[in-house]
Structure 1
Amino acid sequence: MERIFWLLITYKVPPEPAARRVAIWRKLKGMGAIYLQNSVCLLPRSDDHVRRLKMLENDIAEAQGESVILETAALDPTQEAKVLARFKADRDEAYVEFIDKCDDFEREIAKEIAASHYTYAELEENDVDLKKLQGWLAKIARLDFYGGARRAEAEDRLKICETLLDDYARRVFDAHDENR
């Protein structure tokens, strides 16, 4: 079995201003890092993550903080499995939230159809919402390093949303006599 290598960053920054601490946290979470404990994170080892962590190291230093970046591997398969499970759980949590927003989108389309509310303004609003869902799922998938269990479900739900919007658009065009 091939060993998996990770990048470990541990950092300490002054408590004030809090905005700097939050900015560092956001950058790490935005990269897909998992927190093992306060200020101790893991990311899969990649050239992109090395580059981005080096830039973050500079941000931490500018905030009058300290950081250490290490390359590491699990001591044994059990420890490796624990880390992989944490990465997958984080992504699955994001997929569940995404699926909930798909539910909202589907209910909105159903409400408009039930009310026979076929306007271009509503179509445009729903199109914007769908584009947000598409972008969000792409972002989650980019951070899904080890295959979250809910990914296929999230992708299927997005396809349903796309189909529903296509059907709603057809109804809007029909209502405005554009398909005749």
Structure 2
Amino acid sequence: MTSPEGRKWLLLIHQLPPQPNALRVKIWRRLQQVGAVAIKQSVYVMPLSEQSQEDLSWTLKQIVSGGGDGSIGVVRFVEGLTDEQVIALFQTARKSDYQKIIQEANTLLTDWSAGTLDPQDPAVKGAAQVSKLQRRFEEVATIDFFQAPERGTAEILIQDLAARLSGQSSSENAGMHTLDGLNGKIWVTRKNLFVDRIACGWLIRRFVDKSAVFKFVDADTHTPEPDQIRFDMFDGEYTHEGDRCTFEVMVQRFGLRHRGLVLLAEVIHDIDLKDGKYDHAETNGLNALLSGLVASRPDDDQRMDEGMQLIDNLYAYFQRQKGKLAS
């Protein structure tokens, strides 16, 4: 049971006439555009804000003018749905939006990294493609009220595309790194952890610094300090490079090449970049477990601790499979 002092929400309850069907489609599209999510048939919820109030009020006027009726109320969920479950509904809705952007951006990065296409060639229309992705990202981000985990990946990929378009590299440190000097640092990454950041945290604790300290920040406002190392953040010391996720970049730079880690990196890649490049049987299972973790653990410290255990279990499995293959 959620405390009566929990989060306040706006609820739209409406009823539409059976005809015309065009009105149903119009209202459904309008609710999608403003970022409302359905908690049951004809009942939609949004976080309480002036903008949400305005958006739902205009939607209700359209419903009434079309012959329907409805009402808007401010509510708290005290039985049944919890605030965390409602937030998970919003994050799931935005997940599919970001996944489409990620897939398209990753395709462009793969083509541009392979050298088959020059993004600065006018015939490629690289600037137009990046601008289109940026506009789509901004539209989704506007209604991403609770920072879906996939948001950061989409943003980093678009920023990488823009950097390549201008002839710059998104990373200043692309060479091999030794592990010397990394102990005792504070490792900084974006809030609302998901697969790439959790896997990187596991890699840091396992191979770099067993006592590593993590800090989770708002990427747009964070100013790095001298004792901090940023990962999975644009302009961070470790982040996406081309069609490789941050975990793959770290594995390569740390010179960690054994098979168990390579297989793990391929699974992390497919979950994060959503391109099905390696298509391991274990990918969907880990994705489901981590998605459940995100839905049930809003606290990033808990996500990191429990997520690292999931990663460690899969790594142990791959190591065992490696032994079987060698025998």
TM-score by length of 2: 0.46
**Counterparts in 2 of 1:7 and 1:115: CA distance versus 1, 3 Å:** closer
Structure 1: which amino acid aligns with 2:83? E
* Cα displacement (A) at 1:30: 0.8
**Counterparts in 2 of 1:116 and 1:147: CA distance versus 1, 3 Å:** closer
- Which of the residues 103, 106, 111 maps onto 1:103? 106
**Counterparts in 2 of 1:78 and 1:71: CA distance versus 1, 3 Å:** closer
Question: Are positions 1:40 and 2:40 aligned together?
Answer: no
Q: How many residues align?
A: 165
Structure 2: which amino acid aligns with 1:149? P
| 2:126 counterpart residue number | 126
SS at match of 1:167: coil
Alpha-carbon separation, structure 2, partners of 1:72 and 1:39:
16
* Cα displacement (A) at 1:109: 3.4
Deviations 1:1-43 (A, max 9, x none): 9631111101111232222111111111111111112211000
Which stretch has the larger CA shift, 61-70 or 100-109? Answer: 100-109
Question: Are positions 1:26 and 2:24 aligned together?
Answer: no
**Counterparts in 2 of 1:73 and 1:128: CA distance versus 1, 3 Å:** same
**Counterparts in 2 of 1:118 and 1:97: CA distance versus 1, 3 Å:** closer
Structure 2: which amino acid aligns with 1:120? P
Structure 2: which amino acid aligns with 1:156? I
RMSD between aligned residues:
2.4
* 1:95–1:140 Cα contact (<8 Å) kept: yes
Structure 2: which amino acid aligns with 1:79? T
Which stretch has the larger CA shift, 8-17 or 60-69? Answer: 8-17
Alpha-carbon separation, structure 1, partners of 2:109 and 2:84:
36
TM-score by length of 1: 0.81
Question: Are positions 1:93 and 2:96 aligned together?
Answer: yes
SS at match of 2:82: helix
| 1:147 counterpart residue number | 147
| 1:4 counterpart residue number | 7
**Counterparts in 2 of 1:21 and 1:160: CA distance versus 1, 3 Å:** same
Structure with a larger share of its residues in helix? 1
Alpha-carbon separation, structure 2, partners of 1:60 and 1:78:
26
| 1:175 counterpart residue number | none
| 1:73 counterpart residue number | 76
Q: Name which structure has the greater RCO, CA cutoff 8 Å, separation 6+.
A: 1
**Counterparts in 2 of 1:118 and 1:90: CA distance versus 1, 3 Å:** closer
Alpha-carbon separation, structure 1, partners of 2:110 and 2:126:
11
* Cα displacement (A) at 1:107: 3.9
**Counterparts in 2 of 1:85 and 1:115: CA distance versus 1, 3 Å:** closer
**Counterparts in 2 of 1:141 and 1:66: CA distance versus 1, 3 Å:** same
Identity, % of aligned positions: 25
Contiguous gaps of at least 5 residues in structure 2: 169-327
Structure 2: which amino acid aligns with 1:129? Q
| 1:174 counterpart residue number | none
Alpha-carbon separation, structure 2, partners of 1:50 and 1:37:
20
- Which of the residues 53, 57, 67 maps onto 1:54? 57
Contiguous gaps of at least 5 residues in structure 1: 169-180
* 1:109–1:165 Cα contact (<8 Å) kept: no
Structure 2: which amino acid aligns with 1:151? R
**Counterparts in 2 of 1:166 and 1:12: CA distance versus 1, 3 Å:** same
